[in-house]
Amino acid sequence: MSTRENPFGQVLVALVTPFTADGEVDWPGVEQHIDDCITAGADGIVVTGTTGETSTLTDPEKLRLVEVGKSVAAGRAKIITGGGSNETAHAMQLYKQSERAGADGVMIVTPYYNKPTQAGVLTHFRMIADATDLPVILYDIPGRTGIPITYETIVRASKHPNILAVKDAKGDFAEVSRVLNNTDLMYFSGDDTNVLPHLSIGATGLIGVTANITSAPYRTIIDAVNRGDLTTATAEHKRLEPLVRAIMTHVPGTVAAKYVLHGLGRIGSPRVRLPLVGPEDSEAYAIETSLEAVRDVPGADFSNFRPDRNAAAGGALPKVPGTTR
């Protein structure tokens, strides 16, 4: 494990962005949800990431999410801004503005759709890291972006003084071990099913979707791993399995998390923005069936769960379309 000081936290929530029924950001709902996550044990909040529907947020919304997060956290948790852009110039501008808005760190996703070479990926990362003094997490998720960050690129990127960590959603544990052996980078598990396996080989923490529902069990797992108690960590991992399956298996994690949070009365609407749509009946049934197996998970009491398939149906078109500079 890296000996560097960790500026990000260990239990990081990949925050959903609560919307109103017509698809506008529910700002009071954002404040309440951030506070709920921190109170339950999160020490880091990633706003405007994939789970936060970054691709359908405007830049002003992204910057306000940083500001609101910073205000609500009030020093209790770090606020990391995610997403970025597949246009290097846009990403540089956005992260500079995020730093001024109060972000504690930035998470840079691999450029998507363009499919650059590894030289282009490395240049993208370096130029963004040059544009801000904030600590940087690289986000390796080839299933969404179309390209991985190769081992060689990760090692070369690690030489930059601002690039301190990787969020791994690639699932190549051999590569994670190799990077940890040969760099000072910190690793964060970016796949809810692999949190404990990542931690067991030296990862620093997690950036989780299921943590929107409850971050308490992840706090238990992290604290247990920190003190070398694998038995406790494994027991909590097993308890979490059906909840992780409910959130991460049947529909995109954002959709499922909002559906469940709304059914628990934790957010005012399960609405997502197009092209995401709420679960169809068969998908909602699969989520609800998975939840029936959740037992004794701290912060996840489904005895009063009241899902609303009608409220979740379809997707919203916001008044201000697109991500704009």
Residue tagged active-site, from 62, 78, 139, 187: 139
Catalytic status, residue 187:
no
Do 291 and 302 form a contact (C-beta atoms < 8 A)?
yes
Do 137 and 8 form a contact (C-beta atoms < 8 A)?
yes
Catalytic status, residue 218:
no
Task: Report the relative pairing of strands 136-140 and 105-109 from DSSP bridges.
Answer: parallel
Residue tagged active-site, from 78, 167, 170, 258: 167
Cα angle: 143, vertex 203, 44; to 5 degrees: 85
Burial of 324 from C-beta contacts in 10 A (0-12 / 13-18 / 19+): exposed
Which residues, at least 6 apart from 292, have a Cβ–Cβ distance to it below 8 Å? none
Cis upstream peptide for 275 (omega within 30°):
yes
Residues recorded for the chain:
325
The count of C-alpha atoms lying within 13 angstroms of the C-alpha of 307, restricted to the half-sphere facing its C-beta, is 23
Q: Which two tokens stand for residue 311?
A: 């409220």
Q: Which residues are catalytic?
A: 139, 167
